[in-house]
Amino acid sequence: MDTKKQYTLGKEERLKSRKQIDLLFKQGASFNAGVLKVFHQLHEEERAEPLQFGVGAGTRYFKRAVHRNRIKRLVREAWRLQKETLKEQLLNNGKRVDVFFIFTGRELPDHELIGEKTKMALLTLQDIYR
């Protein structure tokens, strides 16, 4: 038997509901992790997935959709590879959390920068939801 861990970001793990996202921006807390602004909120509704995630990049500094999509792809990839410890912690504590990252940098980032800032954000979230 192969016991490799699968790092996925499935449909049920994505934060897509406009209503849920608006509520997160209005009532949730936020902090900055370098070039990422992180919105987070403890979710009361019972659901199977302990962690739902969304990402955005503004049009202010990135007029071309190609660049915004690249940023979002990089952030989603970094999240997918690093979220496991936070997810396990939330499962053990019986908590449900919504998280949304907004890229606030002015230049196109590289993979290393996004990975580093995502790790910083995840460590902060782990401290908050102990």
How does residue 3 score in pLDDT terms, banded at 50, 70 and 90?
A: low
The residue written with tokens 């460590």 in the block is 123
Residue 113 has pLDDT above 70, yes or no: yes
Tokens of 70: 């690249």
Residue 2 has pLDDT above 60, yes or no: no
Domain that holds residue 110: 14-128
**Diameter of the chain measured on Cα atoms:** 50
Give the pLDDT of residue 4: 66
Percentage of the chain lying above the pLDDT 90 cut: 83
Q: Is 5 domain-assigned?
A: no
What global pTM score does this model have? 0.91
Instruction: Kindly report the CATH number assigned to the domain that includes residue 81.
Output: 3.30.230.10
pLDDT, tens digit (0-9, with 9 covering 90-100), for 8-56: 888 889 999 999 999 999 999 999 999 999 999 998 778 788 999 999 9
DSSP string, 77-99: HHHHHHTHHHHHHHHHHT--EEE
Q: Is 8 domain-assigned?
A: no
Structural domain count, the chain:
1
Give the pLDDT of residue 10: 85
Nearest to 5 by CA among 82, 92, 78, 75: 82
Q: How far apart are CA 113 and CA 99, in angstroms?
A: 19
